Structure 1
């Protein structure tokens, strides 16, 4: 793949060894180009403005400005185009700060001990405009912290059709479009259309934000049994 068509990535971590390691791994792939690295959130925002990356690997805890606030500012949108997708990096799975970052607009998260192939797959998934409902703890993380932070149901939920509400519930349970289709006895393309419409009506970027909304509004009640494992899912 030519450099002009490669996925442009910014790597953000306050530890030089970590960010250099991720950058080196990503640059081994012909479809990735690391355009910048940053040591904190403020620097990440500056690089995003200057380089307009497709994906940002963002550490959660950093000095000066943490990954949550940086994510919030980056995903708030740019006047001249779509903001980059953000993958959070964390050292442990049930991290309240990661939950805050997902709620702020991140498209998923990865543990820092992720394998190289898993890292590559994750960057490709979010670069394609999809939400990374992986690793398997993502849905459990959202359910765990949403139960302690209930919010009033969004008035926008009232704008959803009964079928769209049903699809939202199934998305929040971690089902892919291919799994939802036979449940509702419709085509996968029909499910994709329902998902796109409900995201648009709720003003959400992707499935991760849909899951957060479903749990925080009480539309879906968190389970304690870890019933389903999340996974990369097509929109």
Structure 2
């Protein structure tokens, strides 16, 4: 059973998220919090597996399951904010690091930089989910990165997602 802590400052949003989570047979809501301080207290008290929000119901359920299996998922909104904060420096250095990637790996990196999950990368680039996962793993290994968030930041720093 995946243990979920719901955090949002709006009680109606928390209630809606609880309803969504409780429809899934593999999830249980262990607590709710209305702010960051309360979230820390609730997390310490209930030891949830996952704390997530800001997605559609199917995305939310998929994200919870993904996070419970050790993968990190960020909503595109959060990804954009992180990237905006960190992407402004080191463009030429970042571009140089990408020289080790194949053309297809660069395409996958752009998709990851856009906040896409492995299934979304697979659909967007017309490949199987297993192939998308393999490309992401190779990208992380070649670039000596610990996770897809770091890869997304590097893609933005290199200007791969600039219009």
Q: TM-score, normalised by structure 2?
A: 0.66
Confirm or deny: 8 A CA contact 1:12 1:38 kept in the other structure: yes
Mapping for residues 120-159 of structure 1, pairs under 5 Å? 120-132=61-73, 141=80, 145=84, 150-152=88-90
What is the alpha-carbon distance in structure 1 between the residues aligned to residue 43 and residue 142 of structure 2? 29
Residues 1:124 and 1:118: Cα distance change in structure 2 (over 3 Å): same
Higher strand share: 1
Among 70, 85, 109, the residue aligned to 1:172: 109
What is the match of residue 53 of structure 1? 48
Runs of 4+ in 1 over 6 A off after TM superposition: 154-161
Query: Does the CA-based 8 Å contact 1:143-1:223 persist in structure 2?
Result: no
Hey, which of these two has a bigger chunk of helix by percent?
2
Q: CA, structure 1 residues 143+35, in 2 after alignment: closer, same or farther (shift >3 Å)?
A: closer
- Cα offset for 1:197? 1.9
1:191 equivalent to 2:135? Answer yes
Distance in 2 (alpha carbons) for counterparts of 1:210 and 1:16: 35
Matched, 1:210 2:157: no
When the two chains are superposed, the root-mean-square deviation of aligned CA atoms in Å is 4.1
Is this contact kept in 2: 1:142–1:215, CA < 8 A? no
Cα distance change on mapping 1:14 and 1:192 into 2, 3 Å: closer
Paired position in structure 1 for 2:118: none
User: 2:110, 2:160 within 8 Å by CA — same for their partners in 1?
Assistant: no
Q: Secondary structure at the match of 2:152?
A: helix
Distance 1:173 1:159 in 2: 14
3-state SS in 2 of match to 1:125:
helix
TM-score w.r.t. length of structure 1: 0.49
Indicate if the aligned counterparts of 1:11 and 1:19 stay in contact, CA closer than 8 A: yes
**2: CA distance, partners of 1:26 / 1:16:** 15
Alignment length, in residue pairs? 152
Q: Is the 8 A contact 2:83 2:153 kept in 1?
A: no
Instruction: Give the superposition deviation at 1:149.
Output: 5.0
* Residue of structure 1 aligned with 2:34, choices 39, 51, 73: 39
Q: CA deviation at 1:34?
A: 0.9
Asked which structure has the greater RCO (Cα within 8 Å, sep 6+), the reply is: 2
